[in-house]
Amino acid sequence: MDELKIWLTYHDDKLIHEYGLKETDTIHLFKGNDMSVKGENINHLNKFYSELTTMYYVWRNRQYSPYIGFSHYRRMFKEYYEVEKGQCQVLAINYGDHVFRHYKIMHNYQDLYDVVDVLTEQYGSISKYTKYFLEGDIFIPYCCFIMQWNDFVKLCEWLFPILFAWDKKNGLNMDPEKYMEKAKRDFRYDDVNYQCRAVAFLAERLISCYIVTEMKPFCISCL
């Protein structure tokens, strides 16, 4: 697709050589923790938000392209296909993977409870979003997708208010020091540098929720 731009997130210059990252007519490299980037951004939270910093930057600064995609240095699309309004190309679709149970095993389940509370407060206890988190068994991982621009805007308008409500509920105030304090408290006997990416893990489920409930996803080749 000539009008497709895929934003590929990385966080360390050495990754460019290690993973052979390069810009093309389609691929645009974005350093998610670059504090010098011009425009509205949350790059100071990249350690916790991962590739969500790129999505936020593109959304808030209206980096328009008719077709928009996101990937990161470890996960890249091998093929691109035309997406119609409401369609979404993803890297993988996992069926039979119970969303709620899997998160509780892998991460801090209290964070997931907070997100469910936010969804309940905003959309009601029987909304399709809450139902997805409590009962859903279709999971689209990696936060990697291709969709039309207007669909991307709708996703961001839904996604980021939920994440920021989670931030407020935990009294973090978009402060990286408070995020790390929470991670060290929650995972004092675990891998803090991995588990501190709570927002990225939550966003992975939220994006999956939105795509499953609001769009028509398709997967061409799984990694």
Name 147's bridge partners: 68
Q: At what angle do helices 128-135 and 99-106 cross, to 10 degrees?
A: 60
Query: Does residue 214 contact residue 65 with C-beta atoms inside 8 Å?
Result: no
Q: pLDDT by residue (tens digit) across 156-167? A: 999 999 999 999
Q: Quick one: how many helices (H) and strands (E) in the chain?
A: 10, 8
**Which pLDDT score, from 0 to 100, does residue 221 have?**
61
Nearest-CA neighbor of 7 among 39, 64, 62, 55? 55
Give CA–CA dist 88/198, Å, rounded.
25
Q: pLDDT by residue (tens digit) across 90-136? A: 999 999 989 999 999 999 999 999 999 999 999 998 999 999 999 99
